[in-house]
Amino acid sequence: MDLELGGKVAIITGAAGGIGRATANIFAAEGARTVVVDRNAKGGMETVAEIRKAGGEAIFIRADVATAAGASRMVGRAVEAFGGIDVLHNNAAIIRSHSVTETSEAEWDLILRVDLKSVYLCSRACIPVMKKRGGGAIVHTASVHSFASIPAISAYAAAKGGVLALTRQMAQDYAADGIRVNCVCPGATDTPMLRTAINETENPRKTWKQWEQACPLNRIGKPEDIGHAVVFLASPRASFVTGQALIVDGGLLAKL
């Protein structure tokens, strides 16, 4: 399907693996010049190698997007390489499984910085460049935890709730500039982050099965399931969609 992304410049943060890598590959396959951003240089270069092997165009930028300097460096390098920015996918995130009383202040600050502050910093850095191009699209990775949650995931749930609220707010501020802002809300998705969390449980095999059974489609999502949703929201096919949360969870939140 032609999503009319030929020649567009798309930045994907947290693109060394998981949802970010899948999304970067799909953007590239749809013709976008892709900027792969992560702190993990090895994984980021592997993503770029996959894209180039498939005939796409991509560069890797090593940056800590949870800092203003990292976000600024990302934008500067992207503009230097490709001349501008049309799409930003704010995807960088980490997770820890602790309740409020189990969460240290340092851990709370780290998760909120990576999962929420990076969204603000990267958006703040990219929006002026998008305005010069006459508009663009921003897609945040929120979560089903933006709407409902499970025990012992306090900081992550708080951050993802913030991402959802920020999506709605930003959509209003930048609509007049031709910038659409949406978020995608994955359910359980087969990523290194999920596998690490599940492997830390008492019975990982049982936990994995429980997550599968919790979903009406009886499976855990694939990173590509989320990637296709992100690329749709960033494409002209979604030109009248802004301020929205697209839930991609196999029906998880549809259950009582």
Catalytic residue list: 156
H/E element holding 183?
Answer: strand 179-186
Radius of gyration of the chain from its Cα atoms, rounded to whole angstroms: 17
CA distances in angstroms from 56 to 29, 30, 49, 169, 216, listed in the order given: 6, 9, 9, 34, 36
Exposure string of 46-78, with b = 16+ CB inside 10 Å and e = fewer, is: bbbebbeeeebbbbbbbbbbbeeebbbbbbebb
Q: Please say whether the beta carbons of 57 and 5 come within 8 A.
A: no
Side-chain-side CA neighbours of 27 within 13 Å: the count stands at: 37
What is the rounded CA–CA span in Å between residue 222 and residue 34? 21
Q: Please say whether the beta carbons of 90 and 184 come within 8 A.
A: no
CB atoms within 10 A of CB 203: 10
Of 69, 66, 63, residue with least CA distance to 44: 63
Q: Please say whether the beta carbons of 181 and 167 come within 8 A.
A: yes
Which of the 8 DSSP states describes residue 149? Answer: -
